[in-house]
Amino acid sequence: MPPHVVSASDDSRVEQGKKFYNRARADCGILRSTLRRILMPAHRMPRITPYLLYEDATRAVDWLTRAFGLRERMANRDASGRVMHAEMTLGDDGLVLLGQPPPGYQNPKRLGQKTQSLYVYVDDVDAHCAQARSCGATIIEEPTEASYGERRYGAQDPEGHVWYFAAPKRGA
């Protein structure tokens, strides 16, 4: 029989070959995704991530940790220890990037205007607000029930960035 013709007795070998091929493809996919996670950490980043500029990023990291409960995930520091870039998280998800701006930058407080706001979900709006207030946050909106089913408050950090913190209303 010519080599390109498959007989009925070769069906099991063909099926075994297909299974081997499909398993190898699956293993390659797992290997590719594992390598991507190890070698390319940017793939763990959300598709949209806010990047805030702070005139004093070192102080901002400390203040955001104390006042808003953010946690430093990573920071690049210069030789003097000054934060040049940082990644901060809240809980297991949520990410804010921050860094030192170029010369001539003016933060929202110096500009005297709101340039953006961030909307962050927390477990307990009232406790979060109390903590932020105790650390010197300017509360621009007291905790209130919103018509769309959330309780929220607004705060301004020392450099004028506006943050809103919210949680679903109980029972909503």
Q: Which residues pair with 141 in a beta bridge?
A: 154
Segment 22-39 shows an average pLDDT of 57
Helix or strand (DSSP H, E) at 95: strand 93-99
pLDDT at 35: 47
pLDDT at 20: 62
Q: Please state the pTM of the whole predicted model.
A: 0.71
Q: What percent of the chain has pLDDT over 70?
A: 76
Which class for 83: exposed (0-12), middle (13-18), buried (19 or more C-beta within 10 A)?
buried
Fold type of domain 45-168: 2,3-Dihydroxybiphenyl 1,2-Dioxygenase; domain 1 (3.10.180)
Provide the residue ranges of all domains of the chain, joining segments of one domain with +. 11-42, 45-168
Which class for 152: exposed (0-12), middle (13-18), buried (19 or more C-beta within 10 A)?
buried
Which class for 59: exposed (0-12), middle (13-18), buried (19 or more C-beta within 10 A)?
middle
Q: Report pLDDT digits (tens) over 59-92.
A: 999 999 999 999 999 999 999 999 999 999 998 7
pLDDT at 34: 53
